[in-house]
Copies of this chain bind each other. A is one copy, B any other.
C-alpha cells in the first residue's frame, strides 16, 4: 500500500444556512479544498452523508455532487455510518489512494439539517439508533447519552461540573474558530443552569443541529511532495470498528468499545502510542461523550476523563489538547460532515495554520469520529511532513 497524504482542505462557516442548498454548501467546501490542494481535477470521490433522504429528500449524492462540482463521470460514492459518515469517507478515500486504484481523491461530508423542523431532525437522527428496540420505546440520543452519563457518574464519581467544563473549554476554543456555528464563551454556571434535556444533560451539554460541509484532497505521498505548495500531512493510521448500535446490548455503558478497538488498530498501524499524540479532535456530540472517549483513546485512565478536563489537561497548552476547533459543541455538528472537519482541524494544526487555536509543537494528531451512541467509530492518526 502506498503512503497517503492530505494536500488540501476546505469548509465554510457552519450554521443555519437557509439561503444555501445541500449542493451549494458541498461545492463551496470542495472548491476550497481543491484550491488549497493546487489541483485542477480529481479522480474519484467519497461523500459522507447520514440521511440525505430524511433531511432533504435527496439520495444518490455521489453522482449529483460530482456533477455539480464540475467533475461529471468520475466514480463517486456516498457512504454512511450515521454521525461517523465523514470519517468513513476519509477512510475509503485513503484506501483508494493507498491501493493505487486512484491518484487524486476527494473525501467530503455534508449534511443540511435545518430544512426540517426540530422534531423532524430528532427523528432523522434517531435512525442512527436501533429503530425497533430503542426508538420504538421512546429513546432518542439525548436520552441514550444521559444513560451513559448517569452510569459514568455512578461508577467513577464524575460530576455535573466536570461535564460542564467540556462545554466551557470547547466554546472557548470555538470562539477563535471563524468557521464555528456558536462563537461565544460560556461558564460552568451557564451550563448547569441551562434548560434540562435529559437528566443530567442540559441544552449546553448538547451539540447543535447544523448545516455544513467539509472536504479534503488526498494523494500518494510522492505526488504530494511534488504538487503541494503546503507541507503535506501524512495519514499514519486508520482504525474502524463497530458495536451493537443498541445501548442495551452492551456490557458496560461507560466505555465505547468501538472506539477502543478502532484506536488500537490505528495506533498499531501508525506505530505510535496515545502519549505520542499532540492534539486530538474527538466526537463530543454530548459533553459526556468527550469524557468517555478521552479515556477510551488511552489519553487518561478509565474514570479519569472528568478530572482531566476539570484540571485543564485537555485545554490548548495542556497535556493533550482536545477539540481545539471548538468540537461538535461549538463548531456545530452537520452529522455527515463532522468526521471530515475533524481531520481538517488536525491538518491545520499540523501545518501551523490554526491561528489563535494553534497548539504548539504538534507533530502527531488524532481524530475520533463516532456513529450513534458508539455503534461505529473511526480513528485517524496524522503526521505533519516537513
The interface of chain A, by Cβ under 8 A from chain B, is: 1, 21, 23, 50-54, 56-64, 66-67, 72-82, 88, 92, 95-96, 98-101, 123-124, 127-132, 135, 240-245, 249, 257-258, 261, 371-372, 375-376
Contact = CB atoms under 8 A, between A and B. Distances in A.
Give the secondary structure class of A's interface.
Answer: mixed
A79 to B, nearest CB: 5
Given A51-B53, A80-B79, A95-B101, A63 B245 contact: yes
Contact of A73 (B51, B59, B257): B257
A240 B53 contact: no
A33 to B, nearest CB: 19
Contacts of A81: 60, 62-63, 77-78
A46 B132 CA distance: 22
A52 B127 contact: yes
Contacts of A78: 79-81
B127 A58 contact: yes
Among the interface residues A81, A261, A372, which one has the most CB atoms of the partner chain B within 10 A? A81
Contacts of A92: 77, 92
Contact of A99 (B1, B21, B57, B63): B1
B51 A244 contact: no
A240 B128 CA distance: 28
B244 A72 contact: yes
Given A73-B261, A79-B77, A99-B99, A372 B60 contact: yes
B99 A244 contact: no
A375 B1 contact: no
Nearest to A260: B73
A96 B123 CA distance: 33
Given A62-B242, A63-B81, A63-B372, 12 more contacts: A56-B131, A57-B131, A58-B132, A59-B82, A67-B243, A67-B244, A67-B245, A73-B242, A73-B243, A75-B240, A75-B241, A78-B79
